[in-house]
Amino acid sequence: MRPQATTNLSVEEIKHLFYLLTNDNENNIHLAFTLMQGVGVPQVLYQEMRNSRYKRYLCLKMGLVEPLQTMDILRLSNLNMSHLPQSIGDLPHLSSLDVSFNALKNCPESLGNLQQLKVLHLQYNQLQSLSATSIGQLKNLQYVSLVRNQLQVLPPEIGQWQQMRELDLTSNLLQALPNEIGNLHRLVKLQLRNNQLSRLPKSIQQLQHLKTLDIRYNPLPPMHIQQICQWLPHTDVRF
């Protein structure tokens, strides 16, 4: 974790920064962050620096993470982000992260530092793969949404998500699931609708707490669907 920034700014200088931050003009807000990169972050401005998604993004982008370090829920949706800054890994207290509805093609390795993360919203991005290293470190995840991305495969490291309760992979390009999916013993809802799956691994039968499995709009043969229903007799299998 980065140490808290100190600053020797005068009262008048802090007032000027506050004026820039509270201005509706994004150029002025950006200028305030740029100025603080060189002089530090006055603690009196922390609240103002985290009161909008855009400002929270600038905190990460410019490495001024101190105002965010006590937050447990961080929303950065609808910002047209093409990448998530590495500094996201400097927020170890996060339990929920929402970066949905952006243009992310990958996630930084530092995401794996968020050991307390339980909820992760990644839906409606352009993700083509997941980092095996960082994903495997997020062992406390309970809910993940990856709806409407471009994933073709999932890394075996998702088997580390043993606290997972709900996993939504709707509308990707998945052609197969790793055998390690069977390690998600607490999973109650698995949504695989609208992918390119022709088979599910036999390990799926290990998901004995699974209440809902949505496999609609996949090229699964009828005989295999019947087998899946036999594997999971107490699950609502939607096909």
Q: C-alpha angle 129/132/134, rounded to 5°?
A: 105
Return the pLDDT at 4: 41
| pLDDT for the residue numbered 134 | 93
pLDDT at 165: 98
Residue 172 · residue 153 · CB < 8 Å: no
CATH of domain 72-238: 3.80.10.10
Please give the pLDDT value at position 7: 66
Question: DSSP assignment, residue 105?
Answer: S
| 41 sits in which H/E element | none
Query: Half-sphere exposure of 92 toward its Cβ, with a 13 Å CA cutoff?
Result: 5
The answer to whether 136 and 112 have CB atoms below 8 angstroms apart is yes
For the chain, where are the E strands, in sequence order? 73-75, 96-98, 119-121, 143-145, 166-168, 189-191, 212-214, 236-238
pTM above 0.85, yes or no: yes
Tens-digit pLDDT profile for residues 205-226:
999 999 999 999 999 999 999 9
Q: What is the pLDDT along the chain (239 residues), one digit of tens a residue?
A: 343 445 678 899 999 999 999 988 999 999 999 999 988 899 999 999 999 999 999 999 999 999 999 999 999 999 999 999 999 999 999 999 999 999 999 999 999 999 999 999 999 999 999 999 899 999 999 999 999 999 999 999 999 999 999 999 999 999 999 999 999 999 999 999 999 999 999 999 999 999 999 999 999 999 999 999 999 999 999 99
Look at residues 82, 28, 73 and name the one whose alpha carbon lies nearest to residue 55: 28
Tokens of residue 37, six digits: 């990169």
Please report, for the chain, the start and end positions of each structural domain, with discontinuous segments joined by +.
1-70, 72-238
Q: What percent of the chain is helix, strand and coil (3-state, nearest 5)?
A: 35, 10, 55
